[in-house]
Structure 1
Amino acid sequence: MQSIRVNKPGDASALRLEETGSPGPGSGQVLVRNTAAGVNFIDVYYRNGTYPAEAPFTPGQEGAGVVEAVGEGVTAFAPGARVAYATQLGAYAEYTVVPEDKLIPVPDGVELADAAAVALQGIAAHYLTHETHPVAEGETVVVLAAAGGLGRLLTQLSAARGATVVAVASTPDKQRIAREAGARHTIGYEDFDASVRELTDGRGARVVYDSVGAATYLSSLRSLGRRGTLALCGLSSGPVPPLDVELLRGGGSLFLTRPTMKDHVYDAETLRATGGAVFEQVAAGALTPRVHAALPLAEAAEAHRLLESRATTGKLLLTV
Structure 2
Amino acid sequence: MQAALVTRLDGPVAVEVADVDAPEAGGRVLIDVAAAGVTYPDVLLTRGEYQMKPTPPFVPGSEVAGTVRSAPEGSGFAAGDRVAALCGIGGFAEVAAAGADSVFPLPDDVSFAEGAALPVNHLTAELALGRRGRVQAGETVLVHGAAGGVGAAAVQVAKVLGARVLAVTSTEEKAALARRLGADETLPVDGFKDAARELTDGRGVDVVVDPVGGDRFTDSLRSLAREGRLLVLGFVGGEIPTVKVNRLLLANTSVVGVAWGELVMATPGLLQEQWARLLPHLEAGALRPAVGATHPLADAGAALARLDERRALGNVVLTVP
Q: Confirm or deny a common fold (TM above 0.5).
A: yes
Residues in 2 aligned to 1:120 and 1:104: alpha-carbon distance in whole angstroms: 12
1:45 equivalent in structure 2: 44
1:269 equivalent in structure 2: 269
- How far has the Cα of 1:263 moved from its partner? 5.0
1:248 equivalent in structure 2: 248
- How far has the Cα of 1:258 moved from its partner? 2.1
Residues in 2 aligned to 1:260 and 1:202: alpha-carbon distance in whole angstroms: 31
Residues in 2 aligned to 1:230 and 1:254: alpha-carbon distance in whole angstroms: 8
Pair 1:228 & 2:237 matched: no
1:259 equivalent in structure 2: 258
- Alignment-mate amino acid for residue 69 of structure 1: S
**Which segment is superposed worse, 48-57 or 135-144?**
48-57
- How far has the Cα of 1:204 moved from its partner? 1.4
Alignment of 1:132-281 (within 5 A): 132-250=132-250, 252-262=251-261, 264-266=263-265, 269-281=269-281
- The answer (yes or no) to whether the contact 1:29–1:74 under 8 Å persists in 2 is no
Given the superposition, is the C-alpha separation of residues 279 and 114 from structure 1 closer, same or farther in structure 2, using an over 3 Å criterion? farther
- How far has the Cα of 1:230 moved from its partner? 0.8
- Per-residue CA deviation, residues 166-225 of structure 1 (Å, 9 max, x unaligned), is 110011121122122222221111132222122222221111001112242222222112
- Per-residue CA deviation, residues 69-102 of structure 1 (Å, 9 max, x unaligned), is 335x653222222221135211111111212222
Pair 1:30 & 2:20 matched: no
- The answer (yes or no) to whether the contact 2:86–2:98 under 8 Å persists in 1 is no
- The answer (yes or no) to whether the contact 2:147–2:175 under 8 Å persists in 1 is yes
What is the identity percentage for the equivalent residue pairs of Structure 1 and Structure 2? 36
Unpaired segments ≥5 residues, structure 2: none
**Which segment is superposed worse, 280-289 or 262-271?**
262-271
Residues in 2 aligned to 1:104 and 1:302: alpha-carbon distance in whole angstroms: 28
Given the superposition, is the C-alpha separation of residues 78 and 288 from structure 1 closer, same or farther in structure 2, using an over 3 Å criterion? closer
Residues in 2 aligned to 1:317 and 1:290: alpha-carbon distance in whole angstroms: 10
- Per-residue CA deviation, residues 26-78 of structure 1 (Å, 9 max, x unaligned), is 1x21221111000111211222222141212211111111122335x653222
Given the superposition, is the C-alpha separation of residues 235 and 107 from structure 1 closer, same or farther in structure 2, using an over 3 Å criterion? same
- Per-residue CA deviation, residues 265-285 of structure 1 (Å, 9 max, x unaligned), is 455633223223323322211
**Which segment is superposed worse, 115-124 or 241-250?**
241-250
- The answer (yes or no) to whether the contact 2:83–2:103 under 8 Å persists in 1 is yes
SS at match of 2:214: coil
- The answer (yes or no) to whether the contact 2:144–2:210 under 8 Å persists in 1 is yes
Pair 1:14 & 2:34 matched: no
Alignment of 1:282-301 (within 5 A): 282-301=282-301
Unpaired segments ≥5 residues, structure 1: none
Alignment of 1:32-111 (within 5 A): 32-51=31-50, 52-56=52-56, 57-70=58-71, 75-86=75-86, 88-111=88-111
- Per-residue CA deviation, residues 113-153 of structure 1 (Å, 9 max, x unaligned), is 22112122121222222211122222221001112222222
- The answer (yes or no) to whether the contact 1:217–1:240 under 8 Å persists in 2 is no
Residues in 2 aligned to 1:75 and 1:289: alpha-carbon distance in whole angstroms: 27
Given the superposition, is the C-alpha separation of residues 109 and 318 from structure 1 closer, same or farther in structure 2, using an over 3 Å criterion? same
Residues in 1 aligned to 2:229 and 2:222: alpha-carbon distance in whole angstroms: 11
RMSD of Structure 2 on Structure 1 (CA): 2.1
1:318 equivalent in structure 2: 318
SS at match of 2:9: coil
- The answer (yes or no) to whether the contact 1:193–1:223 under 8 Å persists in 2 is yes
Given the superposition, is the C-alpha separation of residues 87 and 191 from structure 1 closer, same or farther in structure 2, using an over 3 Å criterion? farther
Residues in 2 aligned to 1:8 and 1:59: alpha-carbon distance in whole angstroms: 12
SS at match of 1:5: strand
Query: TM-score when scaled to structure 1?
Result: 0.91
- The answer (yes or no) to whether the contact 1:127–1:264 under 8 Å persists in 2 is no
- How far has the Cα of 1:241 moved from its partner? 4.1
- Alignment-mate amino acid for residue 59 of structure 2: T
- Alignment-mate amino acid for residue 297 of structure 1: L
- The answer (yes or no) to whether the contact 2:37–2:64 under 8 Å persists in 1 is yes
